[in-house]
């Protein structure tokens, strides 16, 4: 009996942890395999991070921003990317976290082949095909950010094991782009055109082709073709050193046209009627609870389950509504919105300066909360201060009859407010885009479940137009730029040549404002000095007539410089973290970093 007991106990001790699945189990079970892929989606960077990407470029300002201010003065080094790597910044968009996602993708690509065959089609593809396509897509997505941040990086297409040699050199930028493009092509072959039911929100063929369009557009741009870092020993890590930029613009054009020619997508409310509120049309796009005809790749949220992932409402609602007042638009992006007539806005124009928020591009009203903008009903404790649901940032000079003197009344949304003054923004503006005014943003546990639109059709049209312009195909470019202008209720662009290029860049900046494009556009166009310079907000004062003691109903609004920013060319690329340099002796650091 004793011998039997000992013999049996050997097998009895070989037990699976009750709360875990082995790798073997995962790749035997399609449901577990799908959960593994779901985890890769979840590991993608949180677009609603407290420090939105808009604050790391000339779109926004972070209220409590000492770290972000350092970033915007290019105080970057291999030990610290200030603001970016904090828990409330973009900690997932950094070397080690991105390579952790690459590893998961590689595990998936190895494991999915082990799944049992099942020829059942869902949306035209087997589950095995679809999961493999998603893994290729997610790996391409991750490598896009690695190359955006660092240039050429090590291409890892296998699963490393303990005991393997982890020293691997950086691949050239050209080889990385080829690798990413091929992953997009593989994904496009395996993914369905559309998803249904609970699969909505997953990558599709259109998403894979749209991602390829973005990648090839970036690759064709000046940073990776004509910009030079003097004396850098490995220029091939940062740019193409063979071939022609013109051929790369042709590839970018063809990639965007491939998405257009699918005829699956269109601009949301592309042809507004004369009675439409165009600003409301655009607002409706970004608050739509499900994918619209414009959406190519979106991320859904369930706010009750993951409120942190979607706390854009609490973070950015003005302080006068008990919100965080973070990520405020700066004057540079606000002033970029043209007049409704199509002429540029200018503070030097007396009529513009007198009423700066009148008759602007409708996208302005869908994107910016400004002094006098209608927002939402105030909470009970603030409604007596401001009863009309109007954004009130400025100060009013009013006459105190009891003291027989002038005093200032402070708007509830300003820095001197009696309502959470420390959460008031510094710029004179708040974010409007993405925020649902039907929801109360004052409580941390309330979060809207609006999807984040990672790729939409407007971007593809802009990609196509930009490539056409660089190829000298100006008339073709204007057709597609003016589709976007028509939806926005703006007059057609008629420019050509260099002027048309600037119009295209303007259109991209306004149409895609705050959607995590501008930081990459500034870098790929190599326009850092133009973007990282002192930035502006506005002072807002309702003046009182000293004789009649009557306060003006129209405020005097004056731009002012409130923060210094500066550029160093090293910031076109991030430094490879020192910890990674120490681990891998074959890595060579990016220029400008010790």
Residue 404 falls inside a structural domain:
no
CA 2 from centroid of its chain's CA atoms:
67
Residue 502 falls inside a structural domain:
no
- pLDDT of 152 strictly over 50: yes
Choice among 296-310, 445-459, 464-478 with the minimum mean pLDDT: 296-310
- pLDDT of 550 strictly over 80: yes
The answer to whether 16 and 22 have CB atoms below 8 angstroms apart is yes
- pLDDT of 564 strictly over 60: yes
pLDDT of res. 307 = 44
The answer to whether 61 and 159 have CB atoms below 8 angstroms apart is no
- Model confidence at 48, in pLDDT bands (50, 70, 90)? low
Q: Find the mean pLDDT for residues 434-453.
A: 76
Structure tokens given for 245: 């930029």
CATH code of the domain covering residue 172: 1.25.40.390
Q: Find the mean pLDDT for residues 413-437.
A: 94
Per the listing, tokens 């992006």 go with 333
- pLDDT of 402 strictly over 50: yes
pLDDT one-digit tens code per residue, 526-538:
999 999 999 999 9
Residue 122 falls inside a structural domain:
yes
Q: How does the average pLDDT of the chain come out, rounded?
A: 92
- Model confidence at 446, in pLDDT bands (50, 70, 90)? low
- Residue 356 DSSP symbol: T
Contact residues for 120 (Cβ-Cβ < 8 A; gap 6+):
126, 127
- Model confidence at 445, in pLDDT bands (50, 70, 90)? low
For residue 397, the cross-strand partners are 408
Residue from 524, 491, 486 nearest 505 by CA: 524
Residue from 442, 219, 423 nearest 311 by CA: 442
Angle between helices 497-511 and 474-487 (to 10 degrees): 30
- Model confidence at 309, in pLDDT bands (50, 70, 90)? very low
Structure tokens given for 30: 């399609």
- pLDDT of 502 strictly over 80: yes
pLDDT one-digit tens code per residue, 323-343:
889 999 999 999 999 999 999
CA distance 589 to 594: 8
Burial class of residue 153 (count of CB atoms within 10 Å of its CB; 0-12, 13-18, 19+)? buried
Backbone angles phi, psi at 111, to 5 degrees: -80, -35
Residue 188 falls inside a structural domain:
yes
Residue 196 falls inside a structural domain:
yes
**Is the entire prediction scored with pTM above 0.75?**
yes
Residue 275 falls inside a structural domain:
no
pLDDT one-digit tens code per residue, 82-100:
999 876 778 789 999 999 9
- Model confidence at 12, in pLDDT bands (50, 70, 90)? very low
CA distance 171 to 18: 42
Choice among 3-12, 82-91, 379-388 with the minimum mean pLDDT: 3-12
pLDDT of res. 292 = 97
Residue 510 falls inside a structural domain:
no
- pLDDT of 43 strictly over 60: yes
DSSP state letters, 187-248: HHHHS-S---GGGTTS--HHHHHHHHHHHHHHHHSGGGTT---TT-S-GGGTS--SS-HHHH
Return the HEC string of 470-524: HCCCHHHHHHHHHHHHHHCCCCCCCCCHHHHHHHHHHHHHHHCCCCCCHHHHHHH
pLDDT of res. 457 = 98
The string over 91-110, giving b where at least 16 C-beta atoms fall within 10 Å of a residue's C-beta and e elsewhere, is bbbbbebbbebbbbbbbbbe
- pLDDT of 262 strictly over 60: yes
Backbone angles phi, psi at 541, to 5 degrees: -140, 130
3-class SS of residue 94: coil
pLDDT of res. 448 = 78
User: Would you tell me how many other CB atoms lie within 10 Å of the CB of residue 429?
Assistant: 27
- Residue 50 DSSP symbol: S
Question: Structural domain tally of the chain?
Answer: 1
Choice among 306-315, 493-502, 533-542, 585-594 with the minimum mean pLDDT: 306-315
Supply the range of the domain harboring residue 242. 23-45+92-263
Q: Find the mean pLDDT for residues 516-544.
A: 98
Contact residues for 470 (Cβ-Cβ < 8 A; gap 6+):
220, 246, 249, 501
- Model confidence at 50, in pLDDT bands (50, 70, 90)? confident
pLDDT of res. 16 = 56
Give percent of the chain with pLDDT exceeding 70: 93
Contact residues for 3 (Cβ-Cβ < 8 A; gap 6+):
none
Residue 135 falls inside a structural domain:
yes
3-class SS of residue 68: helix
pLDDT of res. 489 = 97
CA 10 from centroid of its chain's CA atoms:
55
């Amino acid at each position: 009996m004793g011998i039997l007991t000992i013999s049996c106990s050997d097998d009895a001790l070989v037990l699976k942890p009750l709360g875990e699945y082995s790798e073997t189990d995962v790749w035997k079970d399609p449901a577990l395999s799908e959960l593994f892929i779901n985890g890769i989606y979840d590991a993608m960077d949180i677009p609603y991070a407290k420090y939105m990407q808009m604050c790391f470029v000339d779109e926004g300002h972070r209220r409590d921003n000492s770290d972000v201010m350092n970033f915007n003065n290019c105080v970057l080094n291999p030990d610290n990317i200030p603001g970016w790597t904090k828990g409330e910044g973009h900690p997932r968009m950094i070397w080690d976290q991105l390579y952790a996602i690459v590893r998961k993708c590689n595990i998936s690509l190895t494991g999915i082949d082990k799944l049992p065959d099942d020829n059942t089609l869902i949306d035209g593809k087997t589950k095995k095909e679809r999961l493999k396509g998603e893994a290729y897509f997610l790996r391409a997505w991750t490598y896009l950010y690695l190359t955006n941040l660092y240039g050429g990086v090590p291409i890892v297409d296998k699963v490393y094991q303990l005991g393997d040699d982890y020293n691997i050199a950086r691949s050239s930028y050209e080889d990385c782009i080829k690798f990413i493009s091929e992953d997009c092509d593989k994904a496009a072959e395996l993914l369905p055109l559309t998803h249904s039911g609970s699969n909505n929100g997953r990558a599709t063929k259109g998403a894979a082709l749209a991602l390829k369009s973005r990648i090839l557009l970036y690759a064709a741009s000046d940073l990776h073709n004509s910009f030079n870092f003097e004396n850098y020993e490995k220029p091939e890590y940062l740019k193409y050193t063979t071939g022609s930029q013109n051929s790369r613009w042709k590839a970018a054009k063809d990639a965007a046209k491939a998405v257009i020619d699918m005829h699956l997508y269109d601009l949301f409310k592309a042809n507004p009627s004369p009675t439409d509120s165009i600003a409301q049309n655009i607002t409706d796009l970004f608050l739509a609870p499900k994918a619209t005809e414009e959406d190519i790749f979106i991320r859904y949220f369930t706010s009750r389950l993951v409120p942190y992932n979607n706390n854009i409402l609490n973070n950015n609602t003005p302080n006068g509504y008990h919100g965080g007042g973070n990520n405020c638009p700066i004057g540079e992006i606000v002033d970029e919105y043209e007049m409704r007539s199509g002429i540029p806005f200018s503070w030097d124009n007396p009529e513009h300066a007198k009423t700066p928020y009148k008759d602007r591009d409708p996208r302005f009203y869908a994107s910016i909360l400004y002094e006098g903008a209608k927002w939402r009903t105030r909470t009970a404790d603030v409604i007596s201060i401001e009863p009309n649901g109007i954004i009130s940032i400025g100060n009013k000079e009013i006459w105190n009859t009891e003291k027989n003197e002038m005093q200032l009344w402070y708007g509830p949304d300003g820095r001197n407010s009696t309502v959470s003054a420390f959460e008031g923004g510094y710029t004179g503006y708040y974010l409007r885009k993405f925020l649902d005014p039907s929801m109360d943003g004052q409580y941390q546990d309330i979060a809207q479940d609006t999807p984040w639109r990672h790729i939409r059709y407007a971007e593809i049209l802009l990609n196509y137009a930009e490539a056409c312009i660089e190829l000298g195909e100006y008339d073709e470019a204007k057709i597609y730029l003016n589709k976007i202008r028509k939806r926005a209720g703006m007059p057609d662009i008629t420019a050509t040549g260099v002027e048309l290029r600037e119009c295209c860049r303007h259109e991209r900046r306004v149409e895609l404002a705050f959607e995590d494009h501008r930081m990459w556009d500034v870098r790929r166009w190599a326009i850092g000095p133009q973007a990282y310079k002192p930035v502006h907000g506005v002072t807002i004062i309702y003046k009182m007539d000293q004789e009649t003691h009557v306060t003006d109903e129209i405020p005097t609004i004056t731009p002012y410089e409130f923060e210094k920013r500066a550029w160093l060319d090293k910031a076109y690329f991030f430094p490879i973290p020192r910890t990674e340099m120490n681990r891998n002796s074959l890595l060579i650091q990016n220029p400008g970093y010790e």
